[in-house]
Amino acid sequence: MSRYTSATDADRKAMLDAIGVDSVEGLFAEIPKAVRLDRRLDLPAGMAEQEVFEHLSQLAARNRHSDEEVSFLGAGMYDHYVPSIIDSILQRSEFLTPYTPYQPEISQGGLQVMFEFQTAISELTGLPVSNASVYEGPSAVAAAGYLAKLETKRGKLVASRGLHPHSRDALVTHAAGFGMKVEEAALDGEGATDVDALAGLVDDDTAAVFVQQPNFLGTVEELGALGEAAKRTGALYVVAADPLPLGILEAPGSFGADICVGEGQTLGNRLDFGGPSFGFFAAGERFLRKMPGRIAGETRDVDGKRGFVLTLQTREQHIRREKATHNICTAQALNALAGVIYLSWLGKLGLIELGELMLRRTHYAREALGLQAINPGPIVREFAVRVPDLDGLFERARAEGVNPGYRLADTYPEYGDGLLVALTERRTKADIDRLAALVGAGSREGAAA
């Protein structure tokens, strides 16, 4: 809890005297009256401390976290088990409290973590260079768009509609600042990126093409065909990937991806009401000096001992503003540390086993629900179905302590009756059968009516 430190009238007068103004209002003298609010803020009356506590407690009680229900909600953030070893290491003071490791001689632990993290991300993505790290997945996507602008000097980005809506929004917002436009490639009738539609948007002004693996609907994309369509005019090929399925899916780098970015929450980070988490960014070696974030490197000290340093820092704090490739002032290093601990805990075989487990349970769930699939093709951890009685399903499920998934209509109006269902290792066969029973209850009620 933050400590409240009051300022007395004498304190305020001393500060105003130091600044050189007569009153607090004098601080705002340069703001034109035309843009000022000429009335008091419409705020409710104040409350006593006890009343505030009780009010906030009532608001907090309206929340439900994933341990209080059987959750099939995914859509980019997933309810994976986080082993206790992660908190045990994260809470060590040398990891929990440090700032940016400017002094390598006293920051070897933190720098080694960054180096190991980069190594793990490079192995997962099949690309030789990784940073350590960025804020979250959508920020990484937007940063890839800026890198593409710097590299190609072109003015257009093409994004699959299967790219996460938050990532598409971030890309559009940042592209406006880059002086670029974003065009969207449609999905086909089976929930995959339409290769012909994407190819038709790629021209000589296209700086980069963005796809997601698996895409937002859970469809495993044909990265090879999409890559050929993306790169035929010299555009960069950017794949936003979920890192956990990469244990059983071919690495994006194997399909010619120039850049692979993604959201790292699934790697040892809890949901925590949406954050914080971390983003990763991996690329080909020729993009090294245009990448965002920080890169830790391995070296030898004067005595020949192995050591670690910050090899590259590309933010404006370190180099001339016009040469900087981003302005992120803090990396999510602690969250990225959770990611590398998680990957080390799983190991290569564990990563494969977890991917296979998700694969089996996802396909079982799609069959068990008995609903029309929006994406009937290959899936790994998530799938989309049409639910004729979607409102009724949510009503029944919530009453039973089940969250059936994500309403696609919130971001995909074309799937008004669509439900996105996600599976992790925490969702058992019994949980899936329970959801299937709730779906079937709606069919029985409809038949009875």
328 confidence band (pLDDT: 50, 70, 90): low
Considering Cα of 341, then 345, then 351, then 357, what sign does the dihedral take? negative
- In whole angstroms, give the CA distance from residue 320 to residue 329: 15
Q: Collect all residues with Cβ–Cβ distance below 8 Å to 57 and sequence separation of at least 6.
A: none
For residue 369, the SS3 value is: helix
Q: How many helices (H) and strands (E) does the chain have?
A: 12, 15
How is the chain split into domains, by residue range?
A: 68-80+347-448, 84-342
- CB contact set of 50 (below 8 Å; sequence gap of 6+): none
Say which CATH topology domain 84-342 has: Aspartate Aminotransferase; domain 2 (3.40.640)
CATH number 2.160.10.10 given to 68-80+347-448: no
pLDDT in tens, 26-78: 998 899 989 988 888 999 899 999 999 999 999 999 888 888 899 999 999 99
The confidence score (pLDDT) of residue 317 equals 53
Q: How far apart are CA 246 and CA 352, in angstroms?
A: 8
First vs last C-alpha separation in the chain:
55
Instruction: Tell me the average pLDDT across 113-130.
Output: 96
E strands in 165-257:
181-185, 206-213, 236-241
Calpha distance 134→127 (Å, rounded): 17
Q: What pLDDT score does 316 carry?
A: 47
Partner residues linked to 407 by β-bridges = 419
Q: Are strands 236-241 and 259-263 parallel, antiparallel or unpaired?
A: parallel
- Exposure of 292 by Cβ count < 10 A (0-12 exposed, 13-18 middle, 19+ buried)? buried
Q: With 0.85 as the threshold, say if the pTM is over it.
A: yes
